[in-house]
């Protein structure tokens, strides 16, 4: 199911059906009439719980939509929507989501992994080793808190390097679909993607190799190491043909993404007539190439 959502994202980048279109997914937050500071507080909470809040519920919803009817798209389903919305499709079960998705991870990560320390403390206490029992109980508490903290940190890290890839006032969103691997497809891959600092293995590892989004969306099946080699060529081609190529520090991109989430900025759009002309032109060109 993760493959399906990724396929939609890679071949419908920043279109309405893109499951990762941040501006569309956060419409309720953008439109709600509350103080801006509260919107920023929500985005911090969202970053700290991102895999729980966004990925888990949406992946489950996409799975159930596909099981209900192959090819069907699930509506945007955050953790809040999952439990408090009355408008969920019939194929989504809150009980199944809780038991099948949330509980296994919660039990394994925060109960089973630290559990041996707690059991050891109980055994030591029964045998009269109070010092050992106290030490193991402290170790159990520290282990549980470390697991919780590491979960928050990994959520924040993944939020920063993933959510910011295609969001911000300088990124383009689209109302029509471009034929995969057409000229329009490649242009969209570049003008709707933001690269970060890149160029060597140390920087790339820290970004999880997610700092080559223009290259990744031009060539979705390319290997990670090849992105590093492709970037100078793609960048040069974009400059040669006047195609905007965005590469900025990841924290600059984070600020632009948060502004887009909170509604203080809006993504760029091309007039529909030019979108359609570009798609038609590229479609005809590709058809001629196939005939040859």
Is the pLDDT reported for residue 7 higher than 80? no
Is the pLDDT reported for residue 56 higher than 60? yes
Residues 194, 248 contacting (CB under 8 angstroms): yes
Alpha carbon separation from 266 to 3, 38, 196, 259 (Å, rounded): 29, 19, 21, 8
pLDDT category at 281 given cuts 50, 70, 90 is low
pLDDT category at 292 given cuts 50, 70, 90 is very low
Q: What is the pLDDT of residue 2?
A: 45
Please compute the mean of the pLDDT values over residues 94-107 and round it to a whole number: 94
Q: What is the pLDDT of residue 5?
A: 52
Q: What is the pLDDT of residue 282?
A: 53
Angstrom distance (rounded) from CA 111 to CA 115: 6
pLDDT category at 285 given cuts 50, 70, 90 is very low
Please compute the mean of the pLDDT values over residues 148-174 and round it to a whole number: 95
The CA-CA-CA angle for residues 101, 103, 104, to 5°, reads 75
Q: What is the pLDDT of residue 276?
A: 74
pLDDT tens digits along 190-245? 999 999 999 889 999 999 999 999 999 999 888 888 999 999 999 999 999 999 99
Question: Measuring CA to CA, which residue among 190, 220, 215 is closest to residue 204?
Answer: 215
Q: What is the pLDDT of residue 62?
A: 86
Query: Considering the entire predicted model, what is its pTM?
Result: 0.85
Measured between alpha carbons, how far apart are the two ends of the chain, in Å?
Answer: 37
What count of Cα atoms within 13 Å lies in the side-chain half-sphere of residue 125?
11
Q: Where are the domains of the chain?
A: 22-107, 113-155, 166-291
Residues 182, 286 contacting (CB under 8 angstroms): yes
Residues 246, 193 contacting (CB under 8 angstroms): yes
Is the pLDDT reported for residue 3 higher than 70? no
Average pLDDT value for the chain: 89
Sole residue written with tokens 């193991």: 136
Q: Which of 7-21, 26-40, 197-211, 223-237 has the lowest mean pLDDT?
A: 7-21
Angstrom distance (rounded) from CA 46 to CA 194: 21
Q: Which of 8-22, 126-140, 244-258 has the lowest mean pLDDT?
A: 8-22
Please compute the mean of the pLDDT values over residues 179-184 and round it to a whole number: 87
Angstrom distance (rounded) from CA 17 to CA 15: 5
């Amino acid at each position: 199911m993760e493959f399906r959502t990724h396929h939609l994202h890679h071949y419908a980048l920043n279109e309405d059906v893109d499951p990762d279109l941040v501006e569309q997914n956060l419409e309720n937050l953008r439109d709600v009439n509350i103080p801006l500071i509260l919107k920023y507080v929500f985005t911090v909470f969202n970053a700290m719980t991102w895999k729980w809040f966004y990925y888990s519920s949406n992946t489950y919803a996409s799975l159930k939509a596909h099981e209900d009817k192959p090819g069907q798209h699930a509506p945007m389903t955050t953790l809040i929507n999952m439990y408090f919305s009355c408008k969920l499709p019939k194929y989504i079960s809150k009980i199944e989501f809780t038991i099948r998705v949330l509980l296994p991870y919660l039990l394994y990560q925060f109960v089973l992994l630290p559990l041996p320390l707690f059991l050891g403390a109980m055994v030591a206490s029964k045998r009269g080793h109070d010092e050992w029992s106290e030490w193991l109980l402290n170790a159990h508490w520290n282990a549980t808190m470390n697991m919780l903290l590491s979960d928050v940190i990994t959520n924040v890290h993944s939020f920063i390097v993933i959510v910011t890839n295609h969001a911000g006032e300088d990124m383009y969103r689209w109302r029509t679909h471009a034929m995969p691997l057409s000229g329009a497809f490649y242009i969209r891959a570049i003008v709707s993607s933001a690269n970060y600092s890149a160029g060597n293995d140390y920087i790339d590892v820290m970004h999880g190799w997610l700092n080559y989004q223009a290259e990744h969306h031009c060539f979705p099946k390319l290997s990670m190491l090849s992105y590093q080699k492709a970037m100078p060529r793609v960048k040069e081609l974009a400059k040669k043909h006047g195609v905007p190529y965005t590469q900025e520090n990841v924290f600059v991109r984070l600020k632009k993404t948060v502004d887009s989430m909170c509604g203080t900025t809006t993504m760029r759009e091309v007039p529909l007539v030019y979108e359609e002309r570009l798609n038609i032109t590229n479609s005809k060109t590709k058809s001629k190439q196939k005939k040859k």
